[in-house]
Amino acid sequence: MDASHFDLIVIGTGPGGEGAAMQAAKHGKKVAVADRWARVGGGCTHLATIPSKALRFAIFQMTEANNNKLFREAGISINLTFPELRKSARGVIDQQVEMRRTFYDRNRVPVYQGLARFVDPHTVEVISDEGGTQRLSGDFFVIAVGARPYRPPGVDFTHPRIFDSETILDLAFTPQSITIYGAGVVGCEYASMFRNLGVKVNLVNTRDKLLEFLDDEIIDALAYHMRERGVLIRHREECLRVEGRDDGVVVFLKSGKQLKTDVLLWANGRTGNTDLLGLDKIGIVPDSRGNLPVNDDFQTSVPHVYAVGDVIGFPSLASAAYVQGRFATSHLLGQPCARSMVRDIPAGIYTTPEISSVGRTERQLTEASVPYEVGHALFRSLARAQITGQTTGMLKILFHRETLEILGVHCFGANASEIIHIGQAIFAQPAPNNTLMYFINTTFNYPTMAEAYRVAALNGYNRLF
Ligand SMILES: Cc1cc2nc3c(=O)[nH]c(=O)nc-3n(C[C@H](O)[C@H](O)[C@H](O)COP(=O)(O)OP(=O)(O)OC[C@H]3O[C@@H](n4cnc5c(N)ncnc54)[C@H](O)[C@@H]3O)c2cc1C
């Protein structure tokens, strides 16, 4: 048997690649993985999800401690700089890399370090940092190479005060003020983090609203709470030019406004990492953003080559990348895999307040003329929230007024991204088990945040006539 021939070759060891490789290995397939970085885990582990969430938690802990009455009375106050807070991520990244590496080792999946590029439809060349080249051939391929921040020409990212969502992690001081250009998920999350650190934040949105894919009530709540905390949000603005100076950065907007802050975080768009893959050799054409078009089964225009994760665009979540990887491998192996897994992907957004949702929004249901009703639970009316003091938040359930089927669950407030999964568990059930009655007829621990489901369900049910 040819040692360098594999049933499946996966390019990228982020969540997309890992999901794809493990699914094939568990089914006894001969799998190889290639990654340009020696340490597995992908952009997710090294530059995006893990460092940003570890940083967020460090900021949260510091602000919690500083706002705690007991600590204040004892004269304890913590004042860590941005780089000190950042350090906390390193341990988590190492743990993640070590653990994920064992998945490949235990399942006997060789990881080839090097930049992979196609030389023909069934062969890739992997060029290692040392310059060695290895040729690997495969029956199938999964491309899971992720994306990188989009850098527009004309913005000087070598300037020491101008950052993108990857380089911001190397910020060597705590700025007094920051402009964040781009109010997508990454922009909003960083706006919350910097504001929680006491930094003055300008959040520039090129669109009409923040995070337009969310339910309107949640969008309004996010904008309200961010503003209330002091984030200055400017909608419908477009950048004309950026000027990096010794003492700050000036962003000139097409509307005539000028914003001067200590630093600029450019968080507007991402580009798929497809440019170095040699796709011209196999006839796959990325779109203008470097993303790969795929069908519902994650096949590219070349059917034995699949693509998953950020390189295919929306929703660009680690959670989605992982399940897409598993789905793609199941498909190429001819194994059954629930389509709902890749269709009903929840959103988890780590702003302040945290946001999470699954299913359809009120806007979508109204447009589709679905007769729905809505039930709300405000966190401030829950005993658990009153005890913890985390009373900002709301859970809302959208359900069909005739069948009582759950159509969408939307939540903001502390731990929203955990709370959503209770609703998702019922939402994902086939009829007739997906029903509002579950929340009405279930005993919830008291006091819990989960109780919000009963409160919201009764609130909505009582509206029916
Ligand atoms: C600041 C930030 C915060 C985020 N927070 C969250 C969050 O809280 N929750 C969430 O679900 N998602 C979050 N995301 C999104 C998440 O990080 C991505 O969706 C996820 O990393 C995508 O996984 P992936 O497998 O597609 O690619 P990646 O994780 O980017 O991995 C791609 C891998 O491919 C390798 N590669 C690229 N080109 C080649 C090549 N030619 N040859 C060999 N190897 C190659 C790279 O080295 C890399 O290891 C965040 C993103 C950002 C930017």
DSSP string across 340-370: HHHHSPPEEE-SSS-EEEEE--HHHHHHTT-
Ligand 1, atom 8, residue with closest C-alpha = 49
pLDDT in the model for residue 2: 72
Tell me which of 33, 35, 127, 265 to substitute to probe ligand 1's pocket, judged by most ligand atoms within 8 Å of the beta carbon: 35
C-beta 37 within 6 A of ligand 1: yes
Q: Which of 342, 345, 201 is nearest to 264 (CA)?
A: 201
Residues 6+ apart with CB under 8 A from 120: 281, 282
43-72 burial: b if 16+ Cβ within 10 Å, else e? bbbbbbbbbbebbbebbeebeeeeeeeeee
CA 190 – CA 150 distance, rounded (Å): 17
Only one residue has tokens 């019922």, namely: 426
318 lines ligand 1 (CB under 6 A): yes
The pLDDT averaged over each successive group of 10 residues in the chain (465 residues) is 87 98 98 98 97 95 89 89 90 96 98 98 97 96 98 97 97 97 98 97 97 97 97 98 98 98 97 98 97 98 98 97 98 92 95 98 98 98 96 98 98 98 97 97 97 98 97
Q: Which atom of ligand 1 is nearest to the CA of 317?
A: 19
Distance, in Å, from the CA atom of 426 to the CA atom of 319, rounded to the nearest integer, reads 19
Pocket test for ligand 1, best of 9, 13, 44 (most atoms within 8 A of CB): 44
For residue 447, report the distance from its CA to the centre of ligand 1, in Å. Answer: 38
Angle (nearest 5°) at CA 49 between 109 and 243: 125
Question: How many Cβ atoms from other residues are within 10 Å of residue 98's Cβ?
Answer: 12
Instruction: Return d(Cα 68, Cα 260) in angstroms, integer.
Output: 34
pTM above 0.85, yes or no: yes
- C-beta atoms surrounding 337 within 10 Å: 17
Distance CA 199, CA 180 (A): 12
The 10 Å Cβ neighbour count of residue 212 is: 14
In this structure, the residue with its CA closest to atom 7 of ligand 1 is 49
Find out whether the beta carbon of 356 lies less than 6 Å from any atom of ligand 1: no
The CA distance from 257 to 241, in Å, is 11
Compute how many other C-beta atoms are within 10 angstroms of the C-beta atom of residue 230.
Answer: 11
CA of 399 to the centre of ligand 1 (A): 34
| Cβ 330 under 6 angstroms from ligand 1 | no
How many angstroms separate the CA atoms of 172 and 224, rounded?
A: 31
- Give pLDDT, residue 1: 54
Kindly state if the Cβ of 113 falls inside 6 Å of ligand 1.
no
Helix (H/G/I), strand (E/B), else coil: 147: strand
Distance CA 137, CA 141 (A): 9
Helix, strand, coil proportions of the chain in percent (round to 5)?
Answer: 35, 25, 40
CB 179 within 8 A of CB 265: yes
Amino acid at 406: I
Contact in structure between 299 and 327 (CB atoms under 8 Å) = no
Alpha-carbon separation of residue 174 from 260, 306, 388, 393, 446 (angstroms): 16, 42, 29, 29, 41
Tell me the DSSP string of 58-73: HHHHHHHHHH-HHHHH
Alpha-carbon gap, residue 380 to 393, rounded angstroms: 7
Q: How many helices and strands (H and E) does the chain possess?
A: 14, 22
| Triad 180, 183, 186: Cα angle to 5° | 80
Q: Which residues contact 322 (CB under 8 A, 6 or more apart)?
A: 15, 16, 18, 19
Structure tokens, 120 = 């023909």
Amino acid at 187: G
Specify the pLDDT at position 72.
Answer: 87
> Cα(403)–Cα(371) distance, rounded to whole angstroms?
10
Q: What 3-state class would DSSP assign to 195? A: helix
Pair of tokens at residue 145: 């190479």
Instruction: Name the DSSP class of 286.
Output: -
Per-residue model confidence (pLDDT) at position 90: 87
Secondary structure (3-state) at 265: strand
Q: Could you say which DSSP state residue 291 is in? A: P
Q: Is 331 within 8 Å of 345 (Cβ atoms)?
A: no
Helix (H, G, I), strand (E, B) or coil at 158: coil
314 CA to centre of ligand 1 in angstroms: 13
